Amino acid sequence: MKRVTTLLVLGLLTALSPAPAQAVAAERQLVVHSVQADPTYTGLCRGAENGVRVTARLTYTGPGETYLTLVFDGPGSREITCVLLRTRTAWTSYHLAITAPASHRTLSQSSTTTCAAPPVDIATVSELNYDGACGPAFSTPLRAKITSGKGTTRYQWVDENEQPLLGSDVQTVQITEDGGTQYVDGPRLPRQRPGSGKVALLFPDLNSTPLMSGLTAWSTTCRPLATPNLTQVEFTSEDESCELPKPAIFTLKGSITALGPGPIRYAYARKSAQTNNAWVRDPWTSLTLTSAGIVDVSKQWTVPAGRRGEQGYWRLEIDEPYASVSGQARYWFYCPD
């Protein structure tokens, strides 16, 4: 978009010299030597903080005069600077026009403005690709590094559809110097179920169309919260003579490896000729894991007295939140007739 802007029009307001009009005109000269504007700009178009700076240098010869707000006590040079708002992407030509005295000239300078979001880095300061236990208790933080010009920057965390992330409102961050960097924290990214998506920062500038940073991908891969382990079924008591049968006692050495906190249910299951070679599960036991680590869930199993022998297998099962089963461990005992 091409735009032409008249920066300043200087007019003669008062004539301090009573000399004839033709003589005064010959003596007064206001010459524009240069008009300079920031040639290019790419970044947030957020008003005066990032305005285009236009500078003009003028030389005056003649008696004291006032040209609008520019006062000359006598011959000399003066430099004036204006800061104009950047409101949209555009190519603009800035003009400084002198309307009096008669000896003058008009100069112009062009400037290109490209409204764009500042550089944003989310990938290197956030845990985006998650692989672990999932559930309501699991989430990871979001963080971004913003590099911008000096001033106040407004931003909001959004998804790939420019919709605000849950718990994300418009925030502000203060950049203290041009090209300065600030770290900003966002809402936590829920890790309740497998999935993927993208996040970005939206810069809702009031003077321009909202600008969005590049999209950064995230993913969630869910693993069982806990893994069952059954390492051994140990015979801890037996009737060595087998003449006076006593109960046989086995110790089931089991444990659960937890990836994090959360509730689970577990149970032991047995298969033997006594169960018609089908897995028969004990009642479920509820357990609340408080942290990552290994939890001992060993138990004893007593074979009813009078039974002369048995062989089979045990295993440890987890029901919630992700079902999983340990390897099976063999057990046996035998009393000859």
In the chain the first and final C-alpha atoms are separated, in Å, by 103
| Structural domain that includes position 244 | 226-334
Integer Cα distance of 326 and 126 in angstroms: 35
Tell if the pTM clears 0.75, that is, is over it. no
Domain boundary among 68, 86, 115: 115
125 and 108 in a single domain? The answer is: no
For the record, the structure tokens of 292 come out as 């990552």
Q: In sequence order, which ranges of the chain are alpha helices (DSSP H)?
A: 21-27
327 and 284 in a single domain? The answer is: yes
Integer Cα distance of 62 and 29 in angstroms: 7
Digit-coded pLDDT (tens) for 224-258 = 888 899 988 888 765 555 655 567 788 999 999 98
179 and 204 in a single domain? The answer is: yes
18 and 49 in a single domain? The answer is: yes
Digit-coded pLDDT (tens) for 5-44 = 333 333 322 222 333 334 344 455 666 666 677 777 777 7
pLDDT score, position 226: 87
154 and 253 in a single domain? The answer is: no
Q: Print pLDDT tens along the chain (337 aa).
A: 444 433 333 332 222 233 333 434 445 566 666 667 777 777 777 655 667 777 777 666 655 554 444 555 556 666 667 666 666 677 766 666 555 554 455 566 777 877 788 889 999 999 899 998 888 888 999 999 998 877 788 899 999 999 999 888 999 998 888 788 999 999 999 998 899 999 999 988 655 678 888 999 999 998 888 889 998 888 876 555 565 556 778 899 999 998 888 888 999 999 999 899 999 999 999 999 888 899 999 999 987 766 777 889 999 999 876 788 999 999 987 776 6
Domain count along the chain: 3
275 and 293 in a single domain? The answer is: yes
Amino acid letter at 225? L
CA 61, distance to chain mean position in Å, is 59
